[in-house]
Amino acid sequence: MAQTRLLFSRFLPFILAIAGIALITVPLFLLRAKLSTSTVALLYLLPVLISTTSWGLWPGVFSATIAFLAYNYFFLPPYHTFIVHRTEDIVALAIFLIVAVLISQLVARARTNLAAAVARESETTRLYELSLGLAGVNKLEEIAAVIAQKTMETVKASHLELGIEPIYEESPFTLSLPANGISSSNPDFVIPLETMRAFLGEIRLWLNGAPLQPSEERVLRTFAAQGALALERAALEHTETRARILEESDRLKSALLSSVSHEFRTPLATIKAATTSLLSDQIPWEAKARKELLTAMDEETDHLNYLVGNLLDMSRIEAGALKPNRQWNILAEIIDSVIVRMHRILNNYTLDIQISDDLPLVPVDFTQMEQVFSNLFQNSAKYAPVGSTIRTIASLPDPDTLLIKITNQGPQVQQEHLDRIFDKFYRITAPEKVSGTGLGLSICKGIVEAHGGRIWAENVPEGFAFLISLPLTWEGTSPPVVEAEDL
């Protein structure tokens, strides 16, 4: 059935060419007495011209032949025969045929040129679209997706596969369009993605029967060349970025080391002085003095332990190894646990905790959030005057968000420092004046962000406040409500 239709559409121009000649023959025949043969010949060129412009060279030539025959048959005496007597008529007929065929050829050539120009224009448009699509994309996967998609728009393939080799330390991958299409057979067409420097991969095409047109192939090769360049550029950029990150992390590490060694020496100095004193036989230590030295050692070891803990946390955050082990928790329980643990420091302050019993459960990692609050309390206690109030208020600005505000009566912080105090090693005051590794707040930030939350600082009328907002939904689930049980 399809074949019959195909055959029909191929012959249709020829049938129409005959129809065109027939259509002009009827009025010419009726007016035969009034028209000279040369006028008729000229008018016959009209359908020939139409056939050529509409359907190309061969329908044109065919039309010219039919016109030639019709002209001879109907208009050159003896009428209704293909015999020509007069020399003059033979010449006219011959010239007619030559002119008709020449016109057909000329028009057809113009037509082909136009078609080629249009095709080229569309190629250019596609290339332009490709480079537009590639601009601003710098992930290998995204570039590959653009190339694959544009290729599919250009050729009618049933399936496309784009395989990327492990180039420039990037991991290899394969992209399929349609995504779930799997082809076990060999591809019909393979275009390599390569640049002067490297073979980056290839595009494999499974076609719908018909082979690629030369023009399509040309476009695809240009796509491949463009795409390969984009891929290479991106890969090189990644390598460069990675080198920069490494450099940056090296810089941070040396900053960390210098900060840490300074920070560790202070408690170590105390411990060393106290132990050597106690070991020394020169002085008989009184019980009270002994106790004092030993207490100092005890406190300093706790401080060292806290520093080591911060370092561990920081290295885990840096390594991206900080995965919160989330569970539905009660905020008040976390805060209470921190307060119990930090009683030695917090005893010097008035604590005001305003956390309602009706607050929903929060999806957080208990120990990590403990670490956050412990660092925030530690920081508040460090800057706020002894005896002042540290206030903790929890609220629900909207049903899906928990907002925790920890306010202290410490000095306000200049606006320009507010955002940066959560950066590593950022200190407003000179390092000699305040102890700490400069890591506490950046650890808070790392943990809160790993929970999908946000932490920031604000100046408030009474002093300074830390704010944490945490999402209450977890994997799309709202906080569960544990049903109360009857007695």
Report residue 353: phi and psi, to 5°. Answer: -110, 115
Site string for another protein, 244-263 (x = CB under 8 A): --------------------
**301 binds another protein, rule: CB under 8 A:** yes
Taking the complex as a whole, the smallest distance from the CB of residue 377 to another protein amounts, in Å, to 15
Taking the complex as a whole, the smallest distance from the CB of residue 374 to another protein amounts, in Å, to 11
**423 binds another protein, rule: CB under 8 A:** no
Query: Which window, 59-67, 127-135, 217-225, 328-336, contacts another protein (CB under 8 A)?
Result: 328-336
Q: Which is nearer to another protein, 48 or 314 (CB)?
A: 314
Q: Which is nearer to another protein, 235 or 335 (CB)?
A: 335
Q: Which of 298, 400, 423, 458 binds another protein (CB under 8 A)?
A: 298
**Distance (Å, whole) CA 90 – CA 161:** 64
Taking the complex as a whole, the smallest distance from the CB of residue 473 to another protein amounts, in Å, to 14
**486 binds another protein, rule: CB under 8 A:** yes
Q: Which of 43, 145, 339, 467 binds another protein (CB under 8 A)?
A: 339
**337 binds another protein, rule: CB under 8 A:** yes
**333 binds another protein, rule: CB under 8 A:** yes
Q: Which is nearer to another protein, 111 or 303 (CB)?
A: 303
Q: Which of 329, 401, 459, 469 binds another protein (CB under 8 A)?
A: 329
Q: Which is nearer to another protein, 174 or 327 (CB)?
A: 327
Q: Which of 182, 283, 386, 487 binds another protein (CB under 8 A)?
A: 487
Taking the complex as a whole, the smallest distance from the CB of residue 345 to another protein amounts, in Å, to 16
**Distance (Å, whole) CA 156 – CA 297:** 78
Q: Which of 330, 396, 403, 467 binds another protein (CB under 8 A)?
A: 330
Of the candidates 212, 222, 231, the one whose C-alpha atom is nearest the C-alpha of residue 127 is 222
Count Cβ atoms within 10 A of the Cβ of residue 463 and give its class: 0-12 exposed, 13-18 middle, 19 or more buried.
buried
Segment holding 470, helix H or strand E = strand 463-471
Residues 353-412 contacting another protein, CB under 8 A: 353, 361, 365-367, 370
Q: Which is nearer to another protein, 43 or 353 (CB)?
A: 353
**Distance (Å, whole) CA 269 – CA 300:** 9
Pairing outcome for strands 189-194 and 389-398: unpaired
Query: Two tokens at 323?
Result: 């995965």
Q: Which is nearer to another protein, 10 or 343 (CB)?
A: 343
Q: Which of 141, 237, 250, 336 binds another protein (CB under 8 A)?
A: 336
Q: Give strand ranges (E) for 70-198.
A: 157-164, 173-177, 189-194
Question: Is the peptide bond between 27 and the residue preceding it cis, with omega within 30 degrees of 0?
Answer: no
Q: Which of 327, 356, 412, 477 binds another protein (CB under 8 A)?
A: 327
Taking the complex as a whole, the smallest distance from the CB of residue 243 to another protein amounts, in Å, to 30
**312 binds another protein, rule: CB under 8 A:** yes
**Distance (Å, whole) CA 472 – CA 478:** 7
**Distance (Å, whole) CA 302 – CA 106:** 98
Q: Which is nearer to another protein, 88 or 333 (CB)?
A: 333
Pairing outcome for strands 199-207 and 157-164: antiparallel
Rounded to the nearest angstrom, the gap between the alpha carbon of residue 472 and the centroid of all alpha carbons in its chain is: 28
Question: Is the peptide bond between 172 and the residue preceding it cis, with omega within 30 degrees of 0?
Answer: no
Per-position b or e across 33-49, b if 16+ CB within 10 A of its CB:
eebebeebbebbbebbb
CA atoms within 13 A on the CB side of 70: 27
Taking the complex as a whole, the smallest distance from the CB of residue 250 to another protein amounts, in Å, to 24
Report residue 298: phi and psi, to 5°. Answer: -60, -50
Rounded to the nearest angstrom, the gap between the alpha carbon of residue 253 and the centroid of all alpha carbons in its chain is: 31
Query: Which window, 175-183, 257-265, 298-306, 439-447, contacts another protein (CB under 8 A)?
Result: 298-306
Of the candidates 434, 441, 424, 440, the one whose C-alpha atom is nearest the C-alpha of residue 382 is 434
Cβ–Cβ < 8 Å for 375, 338 = no
**328 binds another protein, rule: CB under 8 A:** yes
Query: Two tokens at 261?
Result: 């060694």
Q: Which is nearer to another protein, 29 or 328 (CB)?
A: 328
**Which residues bind to another protein, rule: CB under 8 A?**
298, 301, 305, 309, 312, 316, 325, 327-330, 332-333, 336-337, 339-340, 353, 361, 365-367, 370, 480, 482, 485-487
